[in-house]
């Protein structure tokens, strides 16, 4: 007859086996592996909501660079199901690295406008943001501005901006090349450089900081950063010293970019990856992108956050993002050619 100690050990072992073998809702429905460049604090609420809705567990690998190469190096054994990132440049980098496969979904095609999808289906935008002006409330009286006007000598010594090689500015410069040709884009970029108040540095928030400090009159940044600053105890003053102007191209609307997703070429959990992609384009996620991240939803009919709506109505430029991506390298070369960051 077993001793009390033996019976207790057997009981404990049995309990641990039951706990190990009994599947949770998440494991019962499977999992999906997400590689992402996005800050986890911004996207974790989305993943938590997705798991709650579907029972699918989300495993996250985050990094600031190198994820495309990592997936490529992992090859057929890569655990990556999707890559979630920002900017058309990084989405196209993934395509060029050969790590994607087409996203075939009637749900996505119906929900996401063609302008924010790769023509071959290799990436899909799930939210948008605009490249805008943070203008000094005290020193800038005009309510409208074009991107072309940033090269006007009247702004000499009055513009702050981060590095021209940053992906956000690269896309804007690429759009200028797509619209006006490389020669005119170079002339424009030289004009903007001549108007800079200081050497390009920092991030988008720092441009608002420097406008508030009187170092410049306008800064260039993304729409959501201003809203984040407005709700930050340490940065609220930067937002309150500035206002957002939605610039337009002379012949079009406001330059927008995307946060988007690709389906990994060797996705081991493809069915769950597709569920995640479709979910990100659905109502719950689109409302969260709007109210948690202060981004513009890609799905029509989803209310824009009140702070973002306060900028005024957004009229996105109709130039397809895939077209802008074609000039990514030319834009980078142009930044070096004019010595923009020097």
Residues 276, 325 within the same domain? no
Residues 244-259 have pLDDT tens digits of 999 999 988 999 999 9
Give 7's pLDDT tier (boundaries 50, 70, 90).
very low
Q: What is the average pLDDT score of the chain?
A: 91
Whole-angstrom distance, CA of residue 171 vs CA of residue 224 = 17
* pLDDT higher than threshold 70 for residue 15: no
The pLDDT of 81-93, averaged and rounded, is: 93
Contact (CB, 8 A) for 311 and 239: no
Contact (CB, 8 A) for 55 and 29: yes
Query: Does residue 13 form part of some domain?
Result: no
Would you state the pLDDT for residue 41? 81
Number of domains, the chain: 2
CATH number for position 87: 3.40.190.10
Whole-angstrom distance, CA of residue 155 vs CA of residue 33 = 47
Query: Does residue 19 form part of some domain?
Result: no
Rounded to 10°, the helix 283-291/40-54 angle is 160
Would you state the pLDDT for residue 122? 96
Whole-angstrom distance, CA of residue 88 vs CA of residue 125 = 9
Residues 324, 185 within the same domain? yes
Residues 81, 193 within the same domain? no
Residues 301, 196 within the same domain? no
* pLDDT higher than threshold 90 for residue 24: no
Residues 206, 320 within the same domain? yes
Residues 194, 238 within the same domain? yes
The CA-CA-CA angle for residues 304, 324, 207, to 5°, reads 60
Would you state the pLDDT for residue 107? 96
Residues 153, 223 within the same domain? yes
Give 28's pLDDT tier (boundaries 50, 70, 90).
very low
Residues 195-223 have pLDDT tens digits of 999 999 999 999 999 999 999 999 999 99
* pLDDT higher than threshold 80 for residue 11: no
Residues 115, 164 within the same domain? no
Residues 29-81 have pLDDT tens digits of 799 999 999 888 889 999 999 999 999 999 999 998 899 999 999 999 999 99
Residue partners of 202: CB distance under 8 A and separation at least 6: 162, 209, 210
Contact (CB, 8 A) for 210 and 199: no
Query: Does residue 106 form part of some domain?
Result: yes
The boundaries of the domain holding residue 260 are: 29-128+256-305
pTM: 0.87
Residues 111, 230 within the same domain? no
Residues 141-194 have pLDDT tens digits of 999 999 999 999 999 999 999 999 999 999 999 999 999 999 999 999 999 999
Phi, psi (rounded to 5 degrees) for 95: -65, -45
Would you state the pLDDT for residue 64? 87
Residues 36, 154 within the same domain? no
Query: Does residue 1 form part of some domain?
Result: no
């Amino acid at each position: 007859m077993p001793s009390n100690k033996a019976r207790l050990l057997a009981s404990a072992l049995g309990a641990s086996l039951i706990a190990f073998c009994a599947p949770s809702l998440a494991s019962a429905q499977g999992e999906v592996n997400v590689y992402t460049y996005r800050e986890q604090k911004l996207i974790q609420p989305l993943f938590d909501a997705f798991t709650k809705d579907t029972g699918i567990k989300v495993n996250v690998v985050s990094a600031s660079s190198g994820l495309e190469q990592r997936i490529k190096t992992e090859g057929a054994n890569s655990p990556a199901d999707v890559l979630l990132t920002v900017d058309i440049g990084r989405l196209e980098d993934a395509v060029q690295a050969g790590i994607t496969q087409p996203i075939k979904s009637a749900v996505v095609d119906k929900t996401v406008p063609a302008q924010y999808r790769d023509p071959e289906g290799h990436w899909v935008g799930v939210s948008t943001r605009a490249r805008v002006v943070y203008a000094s409330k005290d020193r800038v009286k005009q309510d409208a501005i074009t991107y072309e006007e940033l090269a006007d000598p009247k702004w000499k010594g009055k513009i702050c901006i981060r590095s021209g090689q940053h992906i956000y500015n690269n896309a804007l410069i690429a759009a200028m090349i797509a619209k006006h040709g490389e020669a005119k884009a170079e002339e424009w970029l030289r004009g903007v450089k001549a108007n800079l108040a200081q050497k390009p540095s920092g991030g988008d928030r720092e441009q608002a900081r420097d406008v508030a400090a009187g170092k410049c009159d306008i800064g260039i940044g993304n729409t959501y950063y201003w809203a984040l600053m407005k709700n930050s105890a340490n940065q609220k003053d930067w937002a309150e010293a500035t206002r957002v102007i939605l610039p337009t191209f002379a012949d079009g609307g406001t330059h927008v970019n995307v946060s988007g997703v690709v389906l990994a070429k060797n996705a081991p959990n493809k069915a769950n990856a597709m569920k995640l992609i479709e979910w990100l384009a659905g109502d719950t996620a689109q409302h969260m992108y709007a109210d948690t991240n202060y981004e513009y939803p890609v799905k029509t009919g989803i209310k824009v956050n009140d702070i973002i709506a306060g900028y005024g109505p957004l009229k996105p430029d109709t130039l397809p993002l895939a077209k802008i991506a074609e000039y990514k390298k030319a834009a980078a070369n142009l930044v070096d050619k004019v010595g923009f960051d020097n």
